[in-house]
Structures are given as C-alpha cells and as structure tokens.
C-alpha cells in the first residue's frame, strides 16, 4: 500500500506545471503533447505513454490549477477511453476530439441508419466546439456503436465558466465512420473516467483559490492586524481546507480504482466524487468571503475558480442526484 | 512504486488469520458488551475484561507493542487491518485502550524494569484497570495549565488537587497522573508524570454522570496523597514530552475513526430496513437516500484520509490526522442525528437516541474542534497567531 505520489508522479506533476506556466498560451497544446500529457492514457502498444488514471488525474489537477481552457479532458480522457472501449484507439495529437456521453440513465442520443449516416442531437457535450472529431455513441439495431464524425460544427454554449467548452451537437444524416461496438456499460465506465479526471481538475482549482484566500488573510490588515489572525477567518479557511483534502483523498482513490478496482467499486468511487461536488464549490464561496470586497470584483480571479468549480458541480447531473444514487447503494450493501 | 491501495500479501494473510480467529472466538455476549461499552454496566465490564484476557492469551492484544513486552511489534498496516477487522466484527475496544496506546509506551521508555514487569502484563490482560489523570476543572483544552501539584517531601511526592473527565477513574487500579512539580517556569516545562496506585490514602474518585445518564468518567480528588518518588515516569518536569510523545507505537489510531463509522452506518442501514419492514419509515424517500449517500461519501473519503495518515510519516501524517479527527467527529454526529431523526420516535431509549446525545462528546474530547481548527490554521495554513 502506498498512498503518496512516487518520484516519477511528482516529476510528471512538476513538468505539467511548468508547461502550463510557460509563455505563449496559444502553444499550450503543443507543449502538452511534447511532455506526453496528451497520450497519457494511450497504451504503449499504440504509441502512447501507457499510464493510468492516477497520472491522468495528476495532469488534470494541474490544468484546473492553471484554469486551462483547451480540449484536454475531452480529447485525452473522453475520446481516448471511448475509443478504447470500442476496441479501437484514438491517439491525440494535432486532432482534438469530443465524445457525446449521455448523462446517467440516458440512452445514447444518436442513431446510425442502414446507409451509415448519423442522426440525433445532444446538448452540453464537453469540448465539442473545439473538436476536430466528434465521437458519437449511436444505436444501430440492438447494439450501440461509437461513430466518428468530422466536419460537424457544434454550437458553443455560453456557460458560467468561460474556461470549460461545452456545446450542442446536432446531426441529421452526417457521414459517420464506425469506430467499433460498445459493450454494455462501456459508456458508463467512460463517463466515470471523465468524472474522475474532471474531479481532479476541481481539486486543482479549489486548492488554487484557497491558496489565494490564505495568502490574502496573511497580508490584509484590518483593526491593526492581519485578518488571518482572527479565529473566525481561520476557521473558515480550515473548513475549506478540510473540504479540499477530503475530496482530494476521494479523488486519489477513485483514480486508482478506475484502473485497478473491480467494476462496481470503480463506479461507486466516481459517483461519490459527484455526490461531494456541491460541497467542494463552497471552497470558492469561502475564498470569496475571506477575500472580501476585492474577491467580489470582476478583476480578481476568485470568481473564475468558483465558476470552474460550479461547472464541475453541475456536470452530468446535480450533486444531490448522485447522493441519492450513492445512498441507494449504501442501503443495499 | 506509484499509488496503490492494495495491501501486501503478508498483511492480507494477517487479516485472514485474524478474521478466522475472531469468527471462532467472538461471542454474541462479548459483542453485546462491546455495544454497551461506556454505559453503566458492571456485568458488561466483567465480560469486556474477560475478553481482553482471552485476546491477550491468544496473542492478539496490544499488537503494536514490541515483542519483548508481549506485543507483536505489528507494522502500521497490520495495525490498520487489526483495527478494521476487530471493529467490523463487533469486538470491543480494550478496556485499557488509553493505557495500552498512551501510557504503556512511556512505561517502556522511562519505567524501571520492575515497573515494566509488574504493570504491563496486567494492563494488557485488564487485570488492572488504568486511567489517565489529565483534564482538570480549569484545564480542558488548555491542558498545560493544569494545577494539581506534587511537592517533594523526603522519599515521596505529596499530591494535592483535582482531575476530571477521567475515563474509568472510579474503577481504576492505576493512574498515569500529570502534576505540576515546578510552578516557577513556563507552564509546559513544570509538569511531571507519576504512576499512582489508586488505592493510596487520600484519593477519592466520584463517578461523573454525563448527559447520557451514564458514568463513564470520574472526578478524582487528591488530598495530600503520598506517592513514592520512584513513581516518577520520565524526567522531573519533563511530563509534557511524556504526554505528547506517547503515541510512538500506535500508528493506526486513525483507522478506528473510519472503522467505527462503517460499523455505525451498517447498523443504521440494518435498523432502517427493519423499520421499513414494520412500515415505520419510507426507505425509498430520496431525502433519506441523499443523506445516507452524503454520509457514505464523507466516510469513504475519511477512510482514505486516515489511511494516508497511517501510511505516511512526518508532517504530512500529523496534518491529515488533525483534519481527520474533525471530520470524524462531525460525521458521527451527523450519522447519529439521521438515525435519531428517522428511528428515535419508535425507539426512544434506543441506540440512536443515546448516540444522538453521546456523540456531542466527539467534538469536545481530546481537544475541541475549535482548538483543533486553531492549530490547523496556524500549523498547516501558516496563519498568524493573534
């Protein structure tokens, strides 16, 4: 049993952090490619880094911390894992991708007709406006297949969080190339992986905004002392720390279980992350409270982190709907 | 090696061996006494002591102790597994848990050969009951301000003062007593630890009835009690270090936190199922399910936080341990509150009603949540002291 990052994993984290801090943000994608952060989940047999979800979570946490706005999660996790589930591979590089993952309990929104054309529409598809390739789960007769579609423009949704690209995809007779057939439960497993990596992103965002608030509490003086000397302020910040560290512990386990746990355990671990998502957003709330007036301004970054946390908290359904699902499972075990 | 939640095969084998032994030895009578631990129940206490003896004779008591003192020198992971398994099986916490985990390491480090030989085996078998004299009426969270004093007089110390919230104080044979031996130095530096025979003249222990109506604790009064100087444990005026460094062997205390809540959550689910069958609660009520799911989620995360603090070493470990304690106290309170809310009306004197009351102690005992937060704010977040 080892619950701390290895030297290699720490090195990966530091490398990603440096790549994101470098100048020329328009070159971020290329830098991520150069350090192996795009093909982290691609097996070595397909030319990838052949790492696991723990490493993907390490990358994702750094992206959240840096408020990265590109298509990494949609491409490097969703598309890679969806293609893998369909028995094929997608190797991220120059081409970006997105997967129209249905929400829990929903059937795929697309159908593939006998002539190989795709029909259907879906909203809130992560990364769709930035994708060169759309991977659409589609019903064909009694099976579900993954279909790759190119040249379809998704309509960007104006979400709360400008750094998370969501879009609606609508196709009616687009040419699709069948990537492979998706076994029962495969889409749920891919969504779980996306949730886990997205949760790691939220850890990064939460840690970053908490650090801003802690720093502020040390230097901002009122009534002749740093506001961080007031217990009322200290306790707010410790509450936020407790929330972040609890959640980070859950993410570590879920990321490990995604590759090494049994199927029901990996699914439950992912559900629990979403069940905690609303509480995680309180870290942003607390940070703004401690920052006070400056934290309520447009210029300050606090709201950008809060928006990112809120985006995660409503992705693929409300936190309370996941709490109900986790509670249902707790009742039957 | 990267992150890996699996236990090594040897620890897994240890788990299997323990599980098998518990299955063959743990009786319903002992389980029932375990549930009632802390309540006023002399018959139950006798069962618990007898169980501790059984455990000791089979080599399953005080496994964290070094082999030379009758332990197993268990590793942190073995301790973690031991705690998980014994609690999941419904086995009791040892009567002398504070003695085994907190007092014994100090005896091993500072005690004379005679003390070690006479005191430790009887402690682990619960032949003697131990208590720890720390809290006082005016020294709760601020423990170092304790005022019970010991004055040297010939070959003795003469002890005068009062302790309170002394677990098992009215039943104890021995007390690890923290006293002020030097009033003229900063408060942390004038404290010593004495091993006191509770039958000494001048000691009076009165049961302290808590808000549940039970007497788990005592107030202990010391009136010119003569204690031989040889009872000093550790250096004179070095008692604060004895008090704070006694956790050297016990690495898996944090496992008790999540393992207990796992058991309680299992109890709640079982009781809800019974109540549902009697038509008393709607088990599919989404509000109830959401609260169960939220508790289950916090519990799962807490378990990882605790496991990290056990598997890790150094500063990282103590940081997560203090967070874990706060999370644990609030989680048990919330679990008890849900149990009482759903089941209390149908079982007014039942375990959820008692738990609803008794769990208030969890954010007070061993350092209040508020003091804990002050410490975390300053040590982990680096915020200034006022």
pLDDT for position B234: 92
Q: Which residues of A touch B373 (CB under 8 A)?
A: 231, 234-235, 238-239
Nearest CB to A330; choose among B286, B296, B307: B296
pLDDT digit string, tens, across residues B269-312: 999 999 999 999 998 999 999 999 999 999 999 999 999 988 87
Confidence at residue B243, expressed as pLDDT on a 0 to 100 scale: 80
CA distance B348 to chain A (A): 23
User: Residue range B53-76: average pLDDT?
Assistant: 92
Which of chain A's residues have a Cβ under 8 Å away from the Cβ of B382?
A: 214, 218
CB contact under 8 A, A3 and B286: no
Does the pLDDT of residue B1 top 80, yes or no? no
> What residue ranges define each of the domains in chain B, with the CATH number in brackets?
9-95 (1.10.540.10), 130-240 (2.40.110.10), 253-379 (1.20.140.10)
Q: What is the pLDDT of residue A116?
A: 92
Find residues 26-55 of chain A whose CB sits inside 8 Å of chain B: 52, 54-55
C-alpha–C-alpha distance, residues A244 and A237, integer Å: 11
Q: How far is B262 from chain A (nearest CA, A)?
A: 11
**CA nearest B307 in A: which residue?**
A3
Query: How many angstroms away from the CA of A268 is the closest CA of chain B?
Result: 9
pTM: 0.95
- In terms of Cβ atoms closer than 10 Å to its own Cβ (0-12, 13-18, 19+), residue A35 is middle
Q: Nearest CA to B6 among A159, A253, A22, A158?
A: A253
| CB-count exposure of residue A195 (10 Å: 0-12, 13-18, 19+) | buried
Chain A neighbors of B294, CB-CB under 8 A: 275, 323, 326-327
Residue numbers in B near A272 (CB within 8 A): 296-297, 300-301
Measured between CB atoms, which of A242, A269, A331 is closest to B327? A242
Task: Tell if the CB–CB gap between A247 and B289 is shorter than 8 Å.
Answer: no
Give A186-331's CATH code, choosing from 2.40.30.10, 1.20.140.10, 3.40.50.800, 3.30.1330.20: 1.20.140.10
Question: B314: pLDDT confidence band, cut at 50, 70 and 90?
Answer: low
Please report residues of B whose CB lies closer than 8 A to that of A258: none
Q: Do B5 and A257 touch (CB under 8 A)?
A: yes
Indicate the fold that domain A88-183 takes in CATH. Butyryl-CoA Dehydrogenase, subunit A; domain 2 (2.40.110)
Nearest residue of B to residue A231, measured between CA atoms: B374
Please determine whether the domains at A1-68 and A88-183 fall in the same fold group of CATH.
Answer: no
Q: Is the pLDDT of residue B242 over 90?
A: no
Per-window interface: A 265-304 vs B, CB < 8 A: 269, 272, 275-276
Q: Which of B233, B179, B175, B272 is nearest to A333 (CA)?
A: B272
Number of H helices, E strands in chain A: 11, 10
pLDDT by residue, tens only, chain A of 333 residues: 889 999 999 999 999 999 999 888 889 999 999 999 999 999 999 999 999 999 999 999 999 999 999 999 999 999 999 999 999 999 998 899 999 999 999 999 999 999 999 999 999 999 999 999 999 999 999 999 999 999 999 999 998 999 999 999 999 999 999 999 999 999 999 999 999 999 999 999 999 999 999 999 999 999 999 999 999 999 999 999 999 999 999 999 999 999 998 999 999 999 999 999 999 999 999 999 999 999 999 999 999 999 999 999 999 999 999 999 999 999 987
Token pair 């619950």 in the structure block, residue: A3
Residues in chain B closer than 8 A to A230 (CB atoms): 386
3-state secondary structure of B165: strand
Choice among B50-64, B144-158, B316-330 with the minimum mean pLDDT: B316-330
DSSP for residue B139: B
Which of A234, A272, A320 would you mutate first to test chain B, the one with the most B CBs within 10 A? A234
Mean per-residue pLDDT, B68-74: 90
A1-68 folds as: Butyryl-Coa Dehydrogenase, subunit A; domain 1 (1.10.540)
Q: Of A14-18, B31-35, B146-150, which range is least confident?
A: B31-35
Contact B4 A1 (CB under 8 A): yes
Q: What is the pLDDT of residue B11?
A: 96
Least confident of A213-222, A278-287, B13-22, B101-110: B101-110
User: Which of A238-247, A293-302, B103-112, B227-236 has the least mean pLDDT?
Assistant: B103-112
Buried-exposed string A48-66: b where 16+ CB fall within 10 A, e elsewhere: bbebbbbbbbbbbbbbbbb
CB < 8 Å & 24+ apart, contacts of A56-60: A56/A193, A56/A197, A56/A200, A56/A255, A57/A196, A57/A197, A57/A199, A57/A200, A57/A251, A57/A252, A57/A255, A58/A5, A58/A9, A58/A12, A58/A13, A58/A16, A58/A200, A59/A12, A59/A16, A60/A197, A60/A198, A60/A200, A60/A201, A60/A204
Least Cα separation, residue B185 to chain A (angstroms): 27
pLDDT category of residue B246 using cuts at 50, 70 and 90: low
pLDDT grade, residue B35 (50/70/90)? Answer: confident
Catalytic residue flag (residue B113): no
The domain segmentation of chain A, as residue ranges, is 1-68, 88-183, 186-331
Please tell me the distance in Å from A249's CA to the nearest CA on chain B: 6
Whether the Cβ atoms of residue B33 and residue B95 lie closer than 8 Å to each other: no
From the candidates B85, B136, B250, B332, give the one annotated as an active-site residue.
Answer: B250
Distance CA A296, CA A315 (A): 24
């Amino acid at each position: 049993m080892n619950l701390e990052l290895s030297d290699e994993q720490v090195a990966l984290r530091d490398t990603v952090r440096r790549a994101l801090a470098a100048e020329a943000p328009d070159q971020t994608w290329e830098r991520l490619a150069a350090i192996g952060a795009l093909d982290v989940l691609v097996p070595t047999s397909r030319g990838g880094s052949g790492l696991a979800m723990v490493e993907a979570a390490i990358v994702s946490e750094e992206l959240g911390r840096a408020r990265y706005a590109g298509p990494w999660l949609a491409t490097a996790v969703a598309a890679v894992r969806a293609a893998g589930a369909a028995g094929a591979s997608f190797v991220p590089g120059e081409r970006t991708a997105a997967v129209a993952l249905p929400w829990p309990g929903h059937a795929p929104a697309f159908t593939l007709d006998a002539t190989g054309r795709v029909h259907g529409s879906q909203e809130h598809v992560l990364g769709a406006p930035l994708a060169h390739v759309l991977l659409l789960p589609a019903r064909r007769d009694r099976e579900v297949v993954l279909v790759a579609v190119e040249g379809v423009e998704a309509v960007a949704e104006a979400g709360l969080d400008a750094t998370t690209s969501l879009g609606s995809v609508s196709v009616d007779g687009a040419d699709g190339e069948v990537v492979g057939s998706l076994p029962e439960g495969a889409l749920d497993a891919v969504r779980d992986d996306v949730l886990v990596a997205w949760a790691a992103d939220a850890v990064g965002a939460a840690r970053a905004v908490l650090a801003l608030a802690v720093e502020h509490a040390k230097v901002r003086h009122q009534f002749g002392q740093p506001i961080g000397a007031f217990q009322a302020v200290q306790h707010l910040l410790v509450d936020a720390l407790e929330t972040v560290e609890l959640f980070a512990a859950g993410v570590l386990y879920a990321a490990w279980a995604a590759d090494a746990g049994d199927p029901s355990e990996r699914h439950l671990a992912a559900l629990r992350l979403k069940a905690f998502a609303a509480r995680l957003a309180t870290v942003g709330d607390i940070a703004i409270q401690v920052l006070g007036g400056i934290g309520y301004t447009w210029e300050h970054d606090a709201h950008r982190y809060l928006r990112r946390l809120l985006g995660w908290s409503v992705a693929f359904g409300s936190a309370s709907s996941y709490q109900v699902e986790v509670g249902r499972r707790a009742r039957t075990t | 090696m990267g992150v890996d939640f699996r236990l090594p095969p040897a620890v897994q084998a240890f788990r299997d061996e323990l599980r098998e032994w518990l299955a063959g030895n743990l009786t319903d009578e002992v389980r029932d006494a375990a549930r009632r631990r802390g309540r006023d129940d002399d018959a139950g206490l006798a069962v618990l002591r007898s169980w501790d003896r059984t455990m000791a004779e089979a080599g399953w008591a005080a496994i964290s102790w070094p082999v030379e003192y009758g332990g197993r020198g268990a590793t942190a992971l073995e301790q973690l597994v031991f705690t998980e398994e014994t609690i999941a099986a419904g086995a009791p916490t040892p009567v002398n848990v504070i003695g085994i985990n907190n007092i014994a390491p100090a005896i091993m480090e500072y005690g004379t050969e005679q003390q070690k030989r006479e005191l430790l085996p009887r402690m682990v078998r619960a032949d003697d009951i131990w208590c720890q004299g720390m809290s006082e009426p005016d020294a709760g969270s601020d423990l170092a301000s304790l005022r019970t004093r010991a004055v040297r007089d010939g070959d003795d110390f003469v002890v005068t003062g009062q302790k309170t919230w002394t677990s098992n104080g009215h039943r104890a044979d021995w007390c690890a007593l923290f006293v002020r031996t030097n009033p003229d130095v900063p408060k942390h530096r004038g404290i010593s630890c004495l091993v006191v025979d509770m039958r000494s003249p001048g000691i009076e222990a009165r049961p302290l009835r808590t808000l549940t109506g039970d007497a788990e604790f005592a107030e202990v009064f010391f009136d010119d009690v003569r204690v031989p100087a040889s009872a000093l444990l550790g250096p004179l005026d070095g008692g604060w270090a004895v008090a704070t460094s006694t956790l050297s062997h016990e690495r898996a205390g944090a496992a008790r936190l999540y393992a207990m809540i796992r058991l309680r959550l299992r109890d709640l689910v079982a009781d809800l199922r019974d109540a549902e069958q009697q038509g008393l609660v709607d088990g599919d009520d989404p509000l109830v399910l959401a609260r169960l799911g939220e508790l289950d989620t916090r519990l799962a995360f807490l378990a990882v936080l605790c496991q990290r603090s056990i598997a890790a070493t150094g500063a990282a470990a103590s940081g997560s341990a203090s967070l874990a304690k706060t999370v644990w106290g609030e989680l048990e309170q919330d679990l008890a509150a849900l149990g009482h809310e759903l089941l209390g009306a149908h079982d007014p004197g039942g375990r959820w009603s008692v738990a609803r009351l008794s769990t208030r102690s969890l954010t007070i005992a061993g350092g209040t949540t508020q003091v804990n937060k002050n410490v975390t704010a300053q040590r982990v977040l680096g915020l200034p002291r006022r």
